Structure 1
């Protein structure tokens, strides 16, 4: 099953979960690598990429300033 990357920024998605962020990161890494699931010899680098993109996404969402929100 493949999930599309969706907008995670509030107010478009008010209650973003850690699962939402990880799913978006996984979808991104799948798209860039061309692999839905990597072979065993690529698993470590694939998982590291998902973790890095997850962290970058979390930092981005935490740092965004959405004007007009009270």
Structure 2
């Protein structure tokens, strides 16, 4: 669906910054809404969706357990 959204979890992306998460969220919302830049009357809903997706993405990345990461850290 959103081919330009990059994988953000380790080891695919060793460092993920807030800008990376927001860029992925923006790309997702653009894709599903069909708007690259929403009209003024849709801006608030669009921006709220981007923030919600970014927050959900950050939570997901924080809670994922990556196999082998604990073993590597202990080595």
Q: CA RMSD in A?
A: 1.1
User: Aligned ranges for residues 5-20 of structure 1 at < 5 Å?
Assistant: 5-20=5-20
- For residue 53 of structure 1, report the CA deviation from its aligned partner: 0.0
- For residue 4 of structure 1, report the CA deviation from its aligned partner: 1.5
User: Aligned ranges for residues 28-39 of structure 1 at < 5 Å?
Assistant: 28-39=28-39
Which consecutive residues of structure 2, in runs of 5 or more, have no partner in the other structure? Answer: none
TM-score, normalization by structure 2: 0.88
Distance in structure 2 (CA, Å) of the matches to 1:34 and 1:25? 14
Aligned length: 68
Structure with more helix by fraction: 2
The runs of 4+ residues in structure 1 deviating greater than 3 Å are: none
Task: Decide which structure has the larger Cα Rg and report it.
Answer: 2
CA-to-partner distance for each residue in 1:16-46, whole Å, 9 max, x for gaps? 0100000000000000000000000000000
